């Protein structure tokens, strides 16, 4: 029988001694959701709540909660967190929350990720309670963890949070079950400024709207600092989407690492796609030739890097839109090859 790690042989609570464990990079992803009303969701999306900056406040609270985990949970170790990210999504009657915590050390960051979700969710409740005091924070759960002796762990398909049949888990944060006719996409933004909250993302929402209009089920935009883009790509590929489009990190700056991180994941390149995007941009803006974005296949997921500018995204959309149906059909094993 398995034993509880935080209880000694006499049944007393204890703090686990991790001094003999090796230090590895450890990442944990947790999720939850605040169930509320359609009115509240609309108000938050429009940033029109009586208490302004709802999502920004909840994001900061979640990050602060992760940093305070060892003070809130008695037997948790103090960790030097290298990164904490809190992201939000929407359904018709819920605000979804996902937190990613990262450290390098002898013990995991599951509790930090879970605490970030819980504190962000409680802050959302505080922000919306004037409109919906009956809002419910639910489904707080660990999705994945990496590092340590056991390596990768992912929540099994049959272990989703307790949800009623008429209120399903949202596709953003549970193992998605797409209809055969439905295609999945992820939008990933590489920007240190956006990740830090000092810049506004002007590219991710444009791509989300475009893909949604094309009938894709879209996750994101996921925002990662340039130095964390390899983890962003791993996050984007987590549910094996048909398409991943990234923006940013494609230039010649020392911190621009999106192409290298992408190439490390690709099984096959699609050089013509990346070159067509560059050529379209260069025709109007010569400096677009400096973009080092790549495109290719990671398994059955198509990945395309776009520049981190509105113009670069516009050029990417113009090139990709007439190609997507044929490209994704070929990757899925169908489509005509007469012109390929």
DSSP 31: E
State residue 325 phi and psi, 5-degree precision: -60, -45
Rounded CA separation 310/9 (Å) = 61
**284 phi, psi to nearest 5 deg:** -110, -25
d(C-alpha 119, C-alpha 116), whole Å: 5
- Exposed / middle / buried, residue 272 (Cβ in 10 Å: 0-12, 13-18, 19+): exposed
Residue of 8, 17, 47, 126 marked catalytic: 126
Burial environment of residue 195 by CB neighbours within 10 A (0 to 12, 13 to 18, 19 or more): buried
User: Rounded to whole angstroms, how far apart are CA atoms 279 and 269?
Assistant: 18
Residue 97 DSSP code? E
Question: For the chain, how far is it from start to end, CA to CA, in angstroms?
Answer: 57
Q: What length is written for the chain? A: 340
Distance CA 83, CA 181 (A): 37
Active site residue 126: yes
Phi, psi of 272, rounded to the nearest 5 degrees: -65, -35
Instruction: Tell me if 210 sits within 8 A of 310, measured CB to CB.
Output: no
> Which residues participate in catalysis according to the annotation?
126
């Amino acid at each position: 029988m398995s034993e509880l790690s935080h209880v000694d042989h006499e049944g007393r609570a204890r703090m686990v001694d991790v001094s003999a464990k090796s230090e590895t990079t450890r990442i944990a992803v947790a999720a939850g959701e605040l169930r509320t009303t359609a009115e509240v969701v609309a108000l938050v999306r429009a940033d029109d709540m009586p208490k302004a900056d709802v999502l920004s406040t909840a994001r900061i609270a979640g990050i602060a909660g992760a940093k305070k985990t060892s003070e809130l949970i008695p037997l948790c170790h103090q960790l030097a967190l290298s990164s904490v990210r809190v992201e939000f999504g929407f359904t018709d009657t819920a605000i979804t929350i996902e937190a990613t915590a990262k450290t390098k050390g002898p013990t995991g960051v599951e509790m930090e990720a879970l605490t970030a979700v819980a504190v962000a969710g409680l802050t959302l409740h505080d922000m919306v309670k004037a409109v919906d005091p009956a809002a419910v924070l639910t489904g707080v759960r660990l999705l994945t963890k990496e590092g340590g002796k056991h390596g990768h762990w992912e929540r099994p398909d049959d272990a989703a949070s307790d949800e009623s049949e008429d209120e399903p888990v949202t596709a953003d944060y549970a193992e998605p079950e797409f209809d055969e006719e439905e295609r999945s996409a992820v939008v990933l933004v590489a920007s240190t400024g956006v990740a830090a909250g000092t810049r506004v993302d002007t590219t991710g929402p444009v791509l989300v709207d475009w893909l949604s209009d094309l009938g894709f089920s879209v996750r994101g935009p996921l925002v990662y600092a340039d130095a964390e883009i390899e983890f962003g790509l791993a996050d984007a590929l987590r549910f094996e989407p048909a398409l991943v489009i990234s923006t940013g990190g494609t230039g010649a700056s020392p911190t621009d690492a999106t192409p290298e991180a992408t190439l490390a994941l690709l099984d096959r390149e699609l050089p013509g796609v990346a070159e067509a995007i560059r050529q379209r941009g260069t025709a109007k803006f010569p400096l677009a030739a400096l973009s080092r974005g790549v495109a290719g296949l990671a398994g059955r997921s198509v990945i395309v890097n776009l520049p981190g500018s509105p113009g670069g995204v516009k050029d990417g959309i113009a090139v990709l839109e007439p190609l997507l149906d044929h490209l994704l059909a070929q990757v899925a094993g169908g489509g005509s090859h007469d012109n390929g």
